């Protein structure tokens, strides 16, 4: 029952923003290949490739932490790795059905 209420609330708000994962660009910037990232993180090649190509459906926090750790060690800024893009229209607090 609670799940359907949450979905309805998201529908009322419309666009709630999104996360953009730029791991592939960040790896290129740092000069790190998929193979090298695999060796540095201990992750499987296919997992690194999915993150590199931004084809991950659900991000794993441990995988993201490993990749981020390596990229930061190579001088990449966190904002170049992942960022939140807010919706174009901000939620009106006065019309918030959660209040």
- pLDDT top residue among 16 and 79: 79
Report pLDDT for 17: 80
Give every CB contact of residue 53 below 8 A, 6+ residues apart in sequence: 24
Q: What's the pLDDT tens digit per position in 27-38? A: 999 999 999 999
Report pLDDT for 45: 98
Give every CB contact of residue 34 below 8 A, 6+ residues apart in sequence: 27, 45, 48, 49, 52
- Locate 53 and state its tokens: 């190509």
Taking the C-alpha atoms of residue 4 and residue 94, their distance in angstroms, rounded to an integer, is: 23
- pLDDT top residue among 27 and 20: 27
- Locate 10 and state its tokens: 């998201």
Q: What's the pLDDT tens digit per position in 37-90? A: 999 999 999 999 999 999 998 999 999 999 999 999 999 999 999 888 888 766
Is the pTM for the entire model greater than 0.85?
Answer: no
Helix (H, G, I), strand (E, B) or coil at 97: coil
What is the set of domains in the chain, with CATH numbers? 14-87 (1.10.260.40)
71, 90, 92: which is closest to 82 by C-alpha?
Answer: 71
């Amino acid at each position: 029952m609670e799940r359907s209420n949450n979905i309805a609330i998201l529908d009322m708000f419309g666009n709630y923003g999104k996360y953009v994962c730029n791991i592939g660009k960040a790896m290129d910037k740092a000069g790190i290949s998929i193979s090298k990232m695999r060796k540095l993180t201990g992750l499987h090649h296919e997992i690194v490739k999915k993150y590199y190509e931004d084809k991950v459906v659900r991000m794993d926090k441990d995988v993201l932490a490993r990749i981020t750790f390596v990229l930061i060690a190579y001088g990449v800024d966190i904002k170049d790795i992942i960022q939140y893009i807010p919706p174009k229209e901000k939620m009106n607090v006065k019309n918030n059905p959660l209040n």
